[in-house]
Chain A
């Protein structure tokens, strides 16, 4: 695949390295001459000095034959414009944008950017998983469906311990998919399955119902 990366900073550099290792044809577009030189020295002549938001630069990069464009500069507005230009002017089939402000996710989707990755959210999710007191963690967002996979940990003091799944008022938008017991044994959450302390429940839910789900499962 021919992939264009906009922005040769830390994210752009390591992304490019990984894409090259996978055998793709990659071109990095970077404004800073010094950074371009560093990339050329370390990864070969695969960088183009220029503004990835300018039509002329994108033409020079052969954007019309790119299979994918990934914009990973530190500025949301630059990533947006680079993706929109490549999509509408050069018909690039797939565009991916890095987002700093998680609020921008909706706007980028609305404007036709295929994939958005919010670095802030990714970091938050990882930290969340490491917090022992946090009963609900996000495992995965199911693309284009508003749904997400979450894990709810049943604490020792939960009001629901000893209750069967059918006794809980799980919101209708939610599907419980798996119970993982302490020790690693896993079972399906059938109506008669009994909750135990330390159980981890894997469920498919939506962002708006996740607090209802947490309440149904741990009673708080």
Chain B
């Protein structure tokens, strides 16, 4: 995601608690080199988000492996820092449904993938 947006010419900052994850930003064979910023920090810590420049951000993605972390990070971005567009990954379809009704732009990969497999079976 970060590399795609970076290649499109956007200014991208990646925040992760583990610096080891950043090696993926340099994997060869995935298009151009990542030119954005990679920062070690916790996405549900308001100080870390400020360091990453959340105050001037146009779009915020919460894409960690943890549903609750993504939900909390997104709500911080939306309600504390008033980021105009916040997109949140929630694996659990039931939780995704509830937070969508609460006004969070939430996507459940589980639901989408299940639908995809079902469609494949039909064709």
Residues of A in contact with B (beta carbons under 8 Å apart): 53-56, 75-78, 80-81, 84-85, 88-89, 101, 103, 106-107, 110-111
Given A88-B102, A107-B75: A78 and B68 within 8 A (CB)? yes
The answer, yes or no, to whether B94 is at the interface (CB within 8 Å) is yes
Decide if A77 touches B94 in the complex (CB within 8 Å).
no
Q: Mark B30-56, 1 if CB is under 8 A from A, else 0.
A: 000000000000001111000000000
Give the A-B pair count, Cβ closer than 8 A.
53
Point out the residues of chain A lying under 8 angstroms from B76, CB to CB: 107
Decide if B72 touches A77 in the complex (CB within 8 Å).
yes
Decide if A77 touches B79 in the complex (CB within 8 Å).
no
Point out the residues of chain A lying under 8 angstroms from B85, CB to CB: none
Decide if B72 touches A76 in the complex (CB within 8 Å).
yes
The number of chain B residues with a CB under 8 A from chain A is 20
Chain B nearest Cβ from A71, distance in angstroms: 11
Given A54-B92, A106-B80, A111-B79: A80 and B72 within 8 A (CB)? yes
Partner of B68, one of A75, A101, A103, A110: A75
Nearest-CB residue, chain A, relative to B94: A55
Partner of B44, one of A53, A54, A76, A106: A76
Partner of B94, one of A56, A76, A80, A88: A56
| Distance in angstroms between the alpha carbons of A88 and B101 in the assembled complex | 10
Partner of A85, one of B44, B47, B80, B98: B98
